[in-house]
Each structure stands twice: as structure tokens, then as C-alpha cells.
Amino acid sequence: MSPFDPRSGPLPAGLDPARRAFLARAAGGLGPLALGSLLGGRGEARAAAPTGEDLARWPGVIRPYHVPPRAKRVIWLYMAGGMTHLDTFDHKPKLAAMNGEPMPESFTKGQQIAQLQGQALKCLGPQHPFHKVGNSGQEISTIFPEISARIADRIAIVKSLHTEAINHDPAHTFMNTGAMVPGRPAAGSWLWYGLGCDAHDLPGFIVMVSTGNYGQRQPIAARQWHSGLLPSRFQGVEFRSKGDAVLYVKPPVGLDGQRAVVDAVTRLDGLHNEVVDDPEIAARLAQYELAFRMQSSVPGLLDLSDETAETFELYGTKGGDGSFASNCLLARRLAERGVRFIQLYHRDWDHHGAVQEHVKGTAAEVDRGAAALVEDLARRGMLDETLVVFGTEFGRTPMAQGNGRDHHMKAFSMWLAGGGIKGGISHGATDDLGYGVVENPVTVHDLHATLLHLLGIDHLRLTIRSQGRDFRLTDVHGHVVKDLLA
């Protein structure tokens, strides 16, 4: 249980009143010079405790862990637009056999349908062959050669996911926040709030978006990484591939000039604090220090000159081009620096038409980067402590929409790898045509519960009080999918 409600009263620095009072005393009593040192200013001796870093860096409310953690962080590769399960990870030979035939009404009667409403429904077989790969013999579409060849035995494919939303916007919101109604915190915000962030110069929740060349570009609303009911400090921060990598991170003059401004602000706020004795001032100056550090850490993060040619070859990118592969490489760098939750959107999976060509094209845009990321994490010994999720907001119909597929919420596939995940397995199954789940259904809430569990959190116990009730990522549902755990 959290020691306080972060949304009540002016407590944004994340400290309980007693600790704030202590800091106020420390800061006010020692004067502005010492305040500067308290905040880790240049050339000053650091106070023993607590440091400005502590003030700026959220420690998390989960202490101790509810369950033994299996992973420290999450990298979520989000295939936005509704990745077809039928042409990627859920092999349906029967559907191939029925290609072009009417979809049996027993499947579709009374079901919710999106753009295919009122049209004759015909089966559309898998558009690309599948093959059995790895020691595990996982069945994966041949449009993922790298994932097939390199990491098949590391991933657990979940074929029995289903969701409650049939349109993109609410489905994304549901996948990220556990609710279709906007306003709930994203999973990344929950984890940052719950566990804090190990990075001292980066936010705990970072989002990157890449755009491909096949299919309709999905709108991605900033609400997908919003902190919702949680304080705004837990909002995901977008790393952009054009303009400033982080909004407003570039100072108008050089870093030295910026330092002079921040130092003057520290002195001025310190002088004022002698009068008003306000703990908010110390907390705010700590945020200025973090902001200042980000101004050099972000360019440093993006400077790939310390990566080897072999790494570039592995990912198939030199970086810096805003591609999915480039973002995968950045994700590994962020993971190394202690960022808690890293989410990479690739927003071209909405294949209403030309599914054969377009799914292949989009798969090619993500295949190598995703496989390289898992492999790279593994060889650096980081995969055991990193949960990698490769998923989407919903699946696509076994029925044809012209030469494409419509939205489908009754079944879709994802895979997970890394910390705490049993590799080389498949979990759950759909019916012969891939329409509905027939074995081990997994809800979005179950996925969230499992994710929290792997990071040491009981999903029932990470809550925030708002509008008179406790909210959690899993709403009032969710079960940990034990079969996935190593």
C-alpha cells in the first residue's frame, strides 16, 4: 500500500511529509550554498543523505517486492494496427484448405464485425507458408526468417489472446491501460510508479515510434503512454527520431550557458527558501538537475559511436534513421542505462487490403530488429532480466476483406521472451479457422497480471486511489499465466 495518495495535496516530489519536512529543515537550515550541494551541484561536497538524485529519482512504492522478481524491465515491441495472427504465428492449415469458401456461419453468427458488416464472408487462407523451426519446432510464418532462425527457442508464443475492443483506438487504450475508457495509467507508468527507475539521468518510461511503408499508418495517441490517474511525472517520454529526441531537450545556447542559468536559479530559489521554507523548492531544483543531466545524457544515448560494426550488422542498421531496427538498438541502450519500461511502436499493421504483400513487407521491417534485440540482450547477459514482449492490439479475421483482413478481437497472437519466460513453447490455441480461442484463453488483463508478476508485483496490490476507489492495471480481473513462467 502506498504511504500516501500521490494525487492528494501538493506532494509531487514523491516524498512523504515527514521526509519532506526533514529536507526542508536540511535545506533551509544550511542555506542556499548547502542546498546546492544537497542537490549534487558542481564542486560541492555531497551531503550524506538524501541526495538530489534521490529527490529526483522516484524510488517506487513496491518495497519489498510482492513476489520474487524475474525481470527488472520490459521492452514492449508493439505492432500497431492489428497484426494478423493467421499469417504470422498461428498456423491454420484448415483455413488454407477452405480458402475462398464461405466462412461457416457457425463461427460468425451474432458476432461483432467491423468493416465487413453485412457482407458475404469468405475464408482467406494463410498468405505465406509456415515452417517448424528451432529445437522446439515452433511453427512460425516464413515471413519472419530472422525470428525463426535466431530466437525461436527463446520465445513463448501465446496464440490465445483475445480482447474487448474491435476498433484501433479503444483497443490500443485497452492494451496499454487495461481499460477502453481513456484516463487510466499505461502499463509503463504503473511500473515506473511501482518500481521506480534505476537510471539517474533518464525517465523510467520511454516510447519510440517507427513508421513503415506497407499499409495504413496507424494514428497513435499520446494517451497510450499517459500516466492517467498517476501523477504526470510517470508519463512516458517519447524519444523522437526527428527534431529534438526529447521535446525541449536542446538548450538555446551551449550547455555551459545552460549551467549558468540553472546555477543562478538554484541560488535564487535557495535565497527565497530562506524566507518561505518550502520543501517543494528542493524537490523542484532536483528536477532541474535531472533535466540538465538529460540534456547531455540524451545526446550521449543517441551517439552510437561506441557500438561495434558487428552490432550494426546484427541489427541491420547504422542507427539514427528512425527505423524499427534502429529503435531496437536504442532500446537495448536504454535498458543498459536502467530505464524500466521501453515501448517501441511500429505503426503499419492495419492491413485491410493486399494482406499478402503488405504483411510480408511490414514483417520484414520488424523481423531483424526484434530478433537482433533478443539475441543482443542474451549475449550481454541481459535477457534474463529483461522481459521482451512482441504484440499487437488485436488480430485479423480469417474472412477476406477483398484481398485483406478486417479487425478481429476474438483471437490474436503475441510472443514473450526473456526474464522469467519459458522459451520455445506455444500457449493456448484457436479453432481450426483461427476465429475463436478454444484452449487456455488469455485476456489482456491476464497478460498485464503476468507482466507485473514477472517484475515482482502482485497485480492486486499495485493500486491507486481515485474517484473513491482503488484502480489497478488489471481493473477487477486478471490471472497470472503460470504456464508461461520458466
Partner 1 sequence: MVWRGEGFFLKERRGMAMLGQGTVQRAGWVAALLIAAGVGMLAGKGARAAEAPAPAAVRFDRDVLPVLANACFACHGPDAANRQADLRLDTLEGATAPRDGSPAIVPGNPQASLLLERLRSTDPDVVMPPPGTNKVVTPQQRDSIAAWIAAGAPYEGHWAYRPLVRPVPPAAGLPVDAFIGRELAGSGLAAAGEADRATLARRVSLDLTGIPPEPAEIDAFLADPSPEAFERFVDRLLASPAHAERMAAWWLDLVRYADSVGYHGDQEVTVWPYRDWVIRAFAENMPFDRFTREQLGGDLLPGNTLDQRVAAAYNRLGMMSAEGGAQAEEYLLKYASDRVRDVSGAWLGSTLGCAECHDHKYDPFTMRDFYSMAAYFADIEERGVYDIGQGRDKAWGRMELFTTPPQAGELAALDERVATAKRDLDTDTPSLAAAREAWIERVKQDPWKTLAPLTSAASGGATLALQDDRSVLASGPRPDVGDTTLVFELPPGPFVGLRLEALTHDSLPNKGPGRADNGNFVVSEVTLALRSAAAGKEAKGLADDKPVPLTRALASFEQSVVGDITPSGKWLAAYAIDGRHSGDNVGWAIHEEVGRDQWLIVRADTPIGIPADTLLVVTIEQHHPVGYQVGRFRLAVAAEPTDDPGPGLHPEPVRIACGKPAAERSAEETALLVERFRASAPELSGQREALAAAQRARKDFVDRLPYIPVTVAVEPRPVRILPRGNWMDRSGDVVVPSAPAFLSGAAAAAAAAPPPRPTRLDLAAWMTAPANPLVARVLANRLWAICFGQGLSRRLDDHGAQGEPPSHPELLDWLACELRDGTAQPPGTPWNLRAVLREIVTSRAYRQSSTAPREAIERDPENRLLARQNRLRVEAEMVRDTALSAAGLLVRTVGGPSVRPYQPEGYWDYLNFPQRTWQADQGESLYRRGLYTHWQRQYLHPALMVFDAPSREECTARRPRSNTPLQALVLLNDPEYVEAARALATKSMAEAGPDPLARARFLLRRAVGRIPTEREVAVVAELATAERARFAAEAGAADKLLSIGAHPVPAGLDPIELAAWTTAARAVLNMQETYTRN
List binders of partner 1 among 252-271 (CB under 8 A).
252-254, 256-258, 260-262, 264-265, 267-269, 271
Q: Smallest gap, in angstroms, from Cβ of residue 115 to partner 1?
A: 4
Quick one: 19 or 131, whose CB is closer to partner 1?
19
How distant is the alpha carbon of residue 354 from its chain centre?
29
Give the Cα separation of 256 and 17 in Å (integer): 35
- Rank residues 82 and 125 by Cβ distance to partner 1 and give the closer one: 82
Kindly state whether residue 121 participates in binding partner 1, applying the rule CB under 8 A. no
Distance CA 245, CA 225 (A): 16
Q: Which is nearer to partner 1, 139 or 278 (CB)?
A: 278
CB 411 within 8 A of CB 85: yes
Shorter beta-carbon distance to partner 1: residue 284 or 422: 284
- CB closer to partner 1 out of 439 and 470: 470
Question: Mask of contacts with partner 1, 78-117, x by CB under 8 A?
Answer: ----------------------------------x-xx-x
Region binding partner 1 by CB under 8 A among candidate stretches 93-101, 133-141, 276-284, 378-386: 276-284
Site for partner 1 in 432-471 (CB under 8 A): 460-461, 463, 466-470
Using CB under 8 A as the binding rule, whether residue 12 contacts partner 1 is answered as yes
Q: Which of 156, 175, 290, 370 binds partner 1 (CB under 8 A)?
A: 290
**What is the Cα–Cα distance from 331 to 327, expressed in whole angstroms?**
6
Residues binding partner 1: number (CB under 8 A) = 96
Smallest distance, partner 1 to C-beta of residue 208, A: 11
Which CB, 137 or 257, lies closer to partner 1?
Answer: 257
- How far apart CA 405 and CA 360 sit, in angstroms, is 14
Binding residue (CB under 8 A) for partner 1 from 68, 275, 305, 381: 275
Binding residue for partner 1, selected from 123, 186, 208, 283, defined by CB under 8 A: 283
- Considering only CA atoms, give the Rg of the chain: 24
63 binds partner 1 per the rule CB under 8 A: no
Interacting residues with partner 1 between 174 and 193 (CB under 8 A): 181-183
Question: Does residue 162 bind partner 1 (CB under 8 A)?
Answer: no
Nearer residue to partner 1 within complex by CB, 13 or 455: 13
**Residue 136 binds to partner 1 (criterion: CB under 8 A):** no
In whole angstroms, give the CA distance from residue 413 to residue 126.
Answer: 14
Judged by CB under 8 A, does residue 67 bind partner 1?
no
Enumerate residues 406-425 that contact partner 1 by CB under 8 A.
406-407
Nearer to partner 1, 259 or 422 (CB): 259
Cell of 422: 519459458
Binding of partner 1 by 31 (CB under 8 A):
no
CB of 240 to partner 1, least distance (A): 6
Please identify which residue in 30, 47, 291, 302 interacts with partner 1, judged by CB under 8 A.
Answer: 291
197-256: which residues touch partner 1 (CB under 8 A)? 203, 209, 211, 216-223, 226, 231-233, 235, 237, 240, 242-244, 246-254, 256
Among 37, 99, 136, 287, interactor with partner 1 by CB under 8 A? 287
Beta carbons of 140 and 152 less than 8 angstroms apart: yes
Contacts of partner 1 in 315-354 (CB under 8 A)? 347, 353
